[in-house]
Structure 1
Amino acid sequence: MTRMRRKRRRRHHREIHVDVEDLKTWVAPEIPLDLLIEILTRLPAKSVLRFKCVSNFWSSLFSSRYFRNRFLMVSSQRHSRLYMSFMDLYNDSKSMLLSSAPISSTFPSSLVFDQDLTIRKMGGFILRVLRGFICFTVDSKPHIYNPTTRQLVILPAMEESVIIAEEEEDNYEIFFFMGHDHVKDQLKLLCTITTMSNDMQKIESELWVFVLEAGGSWKRVAKEFPPHLPSPYELNMNGVLYYLAWTDMHTCVLVSFDFRSEEFNMIQVPRKAGDKILPRLKKWLTQIDYAGKVAVFDMTYLKVRGTVDLWVVQDWRNKEWLRKTLVLQPSQLHPIFDNHRLLAKGTLKGKVILVPRYLVSPFYFLCYDLQLNDLKKVEIKGIPDRWFSKPNTDIYCDIEFMNPSESIEYLET
């Protein structure tokens, strides 16, 4: 038996032997360029970035706009991820950015944040995620970060802003929104700066645009557009940005901004007959993508009545809305009552994400399925214990979700 096994091993060894001389004369068949691109776009982003050093041709290919956009589109077909940022208000160097494991078609009962994407100067307010880039605000300046390339770009402040020049930092609100011009294939940043009186009888606002390209600079737009105070939450659909805003203490409007034409539009959000006219700080609402249409998700009376009003824009030009009222079962309301306040962060996989305003242990978010009128609780794991030991007045916590697209682009500004 022993001799037979040895013979088999030798025979097997002879069968896989390849003559080195034959390899020297063997020429691989040429792969068509379109097929090569399809193969390379399916590689992990880290591999693509590493292969840039293979040759000048590969470096030029990976830097081309066509390949970058193709890679972005292919990667967007993968599972989504969630991002969480933590900022120590008294020590920026201790700030942190975490990423979750990929999310499949259905939400699990718990989600682990197991990837630490923290780099220097990471701390900031209000995450914006678009086309593989993350934008956050530090000291009134936008920071653009690509977690794939690890590139961090800090854009300049608006030196020509009248509001910033005349007001103290505590007397104005500044928000940055990211968007994409599909025609010119440009990433753009919209900045809103607003100052107002305590009763909101007097509001002044400025609107600025920055094109993320070499030589880019801030440009003021829409000087005659009505002054308004934006909500910090955004919705990007087909190159158009939507956000809610307030023109006075009681009037809420839906604002649209087209990143291609750089034009603004505004329509007033309606009220349901019989509801009280509530001031801004007592209204809980945001804009969402509802089956491809823009809608306002109003959860003001969720705790009191167990109801949500959904206002769907049917015709923007004629200011036509369709209202739907959803009623939750009493058995599903306990996660709502367990939290002081929930923030609606938009939709992911057709579900509205409701996130606690404050960091509590155990931390969780809620998925509201509008089609099934069902509420599901998802616990978040992996947050370091040290963040729960800090008072909520000392930290800033934000959670944002994105499609899984990865960008291999390096920004030049």
Structure 2
Amino acid sequence: MNTHHQKEAPTRVPLTIQGGGALSKRKRWNESSKDDDVVGKLHLLPLDIEVEILTRLPGKSLMKFLCVSKIWSSLIRSQRFVSSYYAAKPSRFIVAFTNSVFGDPKRLFIFSGEEETSSSSLVANLDITIPSVTLPHGGFKYCTVHGFMACFVTFSRKAKGACLGYDPVGDQFKALTLLTSVYAHNPSFMVHEVIRLGGGGRVVSRTRVTSPPYHPMTVGLSINGFMYYGASVPNQSAAPTPVFVCFDVRYERILSFITTPKEVLVWQAFTSLIEYKGKLAVVVPDCLGSTSFDRFNLWILEDVKKHEWSKQTFELPLSLPFTLGMCQRMISQGTNKAGEIIFSPSTLPGRAQPFYVFYYNTDTRNMRRVRIHGVADTEEFWSRYGLTGVCSASFSPQHVDSIAFI
């Protein structure tokens, strides 16, 4: 779901820049913009200036300008413009939580705010609440994928799990679901379904993909057109082998099982997958036998083809909670543009309590605590929505208003 544009659903057009001379472009823009002062001013400017101005506009305005002309529609949809737009826009963060872990009624709350470097407090605004949608308890996190947030939606009654990926070349969102039951004993192969999503979130097509047998261990993470998730591969003569499944979103195929050190997936579902400097990385807290951790290991997949990993250990200036069950737990939620690794709670801290996230700088080894104002931190908010008990939460950094609509 796009957390900033719930009401509009424009038609998808090809991501190509149409040819033609500047004069013909101006003529067509003139014919399409007689009643729009902004467009009337823009079409008199050189093309590079127009692009510069368009990148400064909010996503909602660009949605309207898609209807101005085919030239503008093609320009706004082009890969070059999309890349320029994302680079120029400040990052935003998303906070999502559910008001009920086990009881009813369930409701998903989605907040967003603008990220600021070196700030000790940020402000989040409630964007939308969605009934009958929830986040599971247990330390899972849900990142935004190219401006969209993937929640639990039933694509298929047989599907046991799904993760969202994005193909930047084809400008296509796809969901990968596992049809083979995770409880199946000794399956000879695994069956997956790839669901291509179109305008309005509708299903465009479904295709099936098979792979050697494995047991999934983590949620998926989409990076640069590939999807990764931890798994274990059965071994008849030894313990299961830990791997990362690599799925090519564009060509809809499982490329490989990436051999992984056992220490990387020791926490199974509690292992945090993040994108670190454009690479797949895993944050593993060092908290065996403890209810907190003050250091963590960062494993980085340096070479996908050679299955080469590097390991770095970082000491934290203060301890962060990491308890099982229904108690507090800090998990890594990725990085911001500055490269700081972010830790946030997997549940709301309590009734009307402040919501804090922690930013750790791997270069300076410093950590800052940032309060996110507005996230269920008042008694009035809890009473208004009838919040009770444990509320599962997730924090997603580096969210941008998407202009690549599904």
Q: TM-score, normalised by structure 2?
A: 0.69
Pair 1:105-2:117 in alignment: yes
Equivalent-residue separation in structure 1 for 2:240 and 2:287 (angstroms): 16
C-alpha deviation, 1:410, in angstroms? 4.6
> Structure 1 residues 244, 370: CA separation in 2 closer, same or farther (over 3 Å shift)?
farther
Residues 246/359 of structure 1: CA separation in 2 closer, same or farther (3 Å cut): farther
Distance 1:398 1:256, change over 3 A: same
In structure 2, what is the equivalent of residue 64 of structure 1? 74
The structural deviation recorded for 1:127 is: 3.8
Opposite residue 374 of structure 2, the aligned amino acid is G
Does residue 293 (structure 1) correspond to residue 279 (structure 2)? The answer is: yes
Return 126-135 or 347-356, whichever deviates more.
Answer: 126-135
Q: What's the % identity of the aligned pairs? A: 26
Q: Given that residues 86 and 123 in structure 1 are in contact (C-alpha distance below 8 angstroms), is that contact kept between their aligned partners in structure 2?
A: no
Contact 2:227 2:248 in 1 (8 A): yes
Residues 1:322 and 2:334 are matched in the alignment: no
Q: 1:132 to 1:178 in 2, by over 3 A?
A: same
Correspondences of 1:204-215 after superposition (within 5 Å): 205-213=190-198
Amino acid at match of 1:252: P
**Which of 247, 255, 258 is the aligned partner of 2:245?**
255
Partner in structure 1 of residue 204 of structure 2: 216
Match of 1:179 in 2: 166
> Are residues 1:95 and 2:108 paired?
yes
Shift of 1:226: 2.7
Q: Aligned residue for 2:23?
A: none
Counterpart for residue 344 of structure 2: 355
- The Cα of 1:97 is off from its aligned counterpart by 1.4
Shift of 1:309: 1.9
* Structure-2 separation of matches of 1:279 and 1:351: 22
Partner of 1:41: 55
Taking only aligned residues, the RMSD between alpha carbons, in angstroms, comes to 3.6
Q: Distance in 2 between matches of 1:375 and 1:229?
A: 33
Q: What does 1:8-407 align with in structure 2 at a 5 Å threshold?
A: 30-51=44-65, 58-64=68-74, 66-67=76-77, 69-76=79-86, 77-89=88-100, 90-92=104-106, 94-100=107-113, 102-106=114-118, 108-114=119-125, 116-118=126-128, 123-125=133-135, 127-138=142-153, 140=154, 157-158=155-156, 164=158, 173-182=160-169, 184-193=170-179, 195-197=181-183, 205-213=190-198, 216-221=204-209, 223-234=210-221, 236-247=222-233, 251-264=241-254, 265-271=256-262, 280=268, 284-301=270-287, 306-329=294-317, 332-333=318-319, 340-349=328-337, 350-360=339-349, 361-384=353-376, 385-386=381-382, 389-392=387-390, 395-404=391-400, 406-407=401-402
CA contact (8 A) 2:92 2:399 kept: yes
Q: What secondary structure is seen at the aligned counterpart in 2 of 1:362?
A: coil
Cα deviation, residue 83, structure 1? 1.0
Q: After superposition, what is the alpha-carbon deviation per residue over 1:222-276, rounded to whole angstroms, capped at 9, x for unaligned?
A: x133322141252x3322222223447975322221212323221232146xx9x
Cα contact 1:205–1:228 (8 A) shared by 2:
no
**Contact 2:229/2:246 (<8 A) preserved:** yes
Residue 212 of structure 1, CA deviation: 2.5
- Separation in 1 of the partners of 2:365 and 2:109? 35
Distance 1:38 1:322, change over 3 A: closer
> How many Å apart are 1:299 and its aligned residue?
1.0
Q: State the Cα distance separating 1:380 from its structure 2 match.
A: 1.8
**Aligned pair count?**
334
Query: How much does 1:314 deviate?
Result: 3.2
Partner SS for 1:123: coil
User: Structure 1's 336 and 176: CA in aligned 2 closer, same or farther, altered over 3 A?
Assistant: closer
Q: 1:194 to 1:60 in 2, by over 3 A?
A: same
Alignment CA distance shift 1:38-1:247 (3 Å): same
Structure 1 residues 315 and 278: alpha-carbon distance in aligned structure 2, compared to 1, 3 A threshold? closer
Letter in 1 for 2:250: R
One-letter amino acid of the structure 1 residue matched with residue 258 of structure 2 = I
Unaligned 5+ runs, structure 1: 1-26, 141-156, 165-171
Task: Extract unaligned runs of 5+ from structure 2.
Answer: 1-39, 136-140
The one-letter code of the counterpart of 2:231 is A
Offset, 1:206: 3.3
Query: For residues 120 and 320 of structure 1, what CA distance do their matches in structure 2 show?
Result: 42
1: CA distance, partners of 2:386 / 2:286? 28
Q: Give the letter for the 2:347 counterpart.
A: Y
> Which segments of structure 1 move beyond 6 Å, counting only runs of 4 or more?
none
State which structure, 1 or 2, has the greater radius of gyration over its C-alpha atoms: 1
| Structure 2 residue identity aligned to 1:91 | P
- Cα deviation, residue 113, structure 1: 0.8
Distance 1:305 1:41, change over 3 A: closer
- 1:64–1:322 Cα change, 3 Å: same
Q: 1:310 to 1:136 in 2, by over 3 A?
A: same
Deviations 1:381-406 (CA, angstroms, capped at 9, x unpaired): 102331795101xx4322222343x2
Query: 1:99: Cα distance to partner?
Result: 0.7
Q: Which amino acid aligns with 1:46?
A: K
1:363-384 per-residue CA deviation (whole Å, 9 max, x = no partner) reads 2122222222233222221023
